[in-house]
Amino acid sequence: MTQRWHAQGYDKSMGFVSRYGEELVEWLDVKPGERVLDWGCGTGDLAAELARKGAAVTGIDASADMVEQARAKYPQLDFRVADGQRYVSEAAADAIFSNAALHWMTDAAGAAAGMSASLRPGGRLVAEFGAAGNIRRIREALGASFAAVGVAEEPAWPWYFPTVGEYASLLERSGLEVRTALRMERPTPLSDGEQGMRVWLTTFANGILSPLAEDVREEVVAETQRRLKATALWEDGRWTADYERLRIVAVKR
């Protein structure tokens, strides 16, 4: 199962990801001249915001398509294709920033070890990503839809959604001292009107859906939408995603 990213479509329909991350930028409280790694930078919008605040930013992302788009939008910045589950920076960073990316890194221990090794002593991590319970209703509807249309295998979920305790313990074992760990419910309106859930599914559940035959994939998407329309995620002609987020602030020992 491989998650495929289409960066231009992502920018068009999923701009809310960066908008919600703007508050997280403020939490980092970057100082001019600090060296900052954006761990899972996507198409670069928040790396650019950090640079506007005076940081020397390097953005890493496992998707070559995302990095290509980031370079096209912000050619003055340093973006690299790198797997955040394996990456270690050559030079120690003052801070690591990560928004809506760590839940894609299912080798969470590898990602935590890489982030810790990439920070100088006293350097800080500010991150937000999906918490345990994130998109619970969407996942339940997707799983039920696989069964309803006759797909024998259950979906192989590509996400890591930990509890506060699980992730805080993981970071502590990796040499990071957790200062703040918050779980937040954050229902998130989707764009594209009635097509919003379809667009969300074909973007973020691409790795689950793409192995299916095209006609079966369409049946699964349609059935998932039908089931979700009976929930609070569909109201007044607009979709909402049932996001739950985990926000972390930690410091390298």
User: Which pLDDT value is given to residue 36?
Assistant: 98
User: Which pLDDT value is given to residue 16?
Assistant: 63
- State the Cα–Cα distance between residues 170 and 80, nearest whole angstrom: 26
pLDDT per position as a tens digit, 55-79: 999 999 999 999 999 999 999 999 9
User: Which pLDDT value is given to residue 11?
Assistant: 64
Torsion sign across C-alpha atoms 202, 208, 210, 213: negative
Q: Are strands 119-130 and 238-252 parallel, antiparallel or unpaired?
A: antiparallel
User: Which pLDDT value is given to residue 220?
Assistant: 98
User: Which pLDDT value is given to residue 107?
Assistant: 98
- State the Cα–Cα distance between residues 152 and 74, nearest whole angstrom: 45
Q: Domain residue spans in the chain?
A: 7-135+159-189+242-252
Contacts (Cβ under 8 Å, ≥6 apart) of 198: 192, 221, 225
What CATH number matches the domain at 7-135+159-189+242-252, 3.30.43.10, 3.40.50.150, 3.40.640.10, 3.20.20.70?
3.40.50.150
> 201: part of which helix (H) or strand (E)?
helix 196-204
- State the Cα–Cα distance between residues 115 and 98, nearest whole angstrom: 10
Q: In the numeric block, which tokens belong to residue 35?
A: 């060296």
> 244: part of which helix (H) or strand (E)?
strand 238-252
User: Which pLDDT value is given to residue 12?
Assistant: 61
User: Which pLDDT value is given to residue 1?
Assistant: 55
Q: What pTM was computed for the model? A: 0.94
- State the Cα–Cα distance between residues 69 and 8, nearest whole angstrom: 7
> Which residues in the chain land under pLDDT 70?
1, 5-17
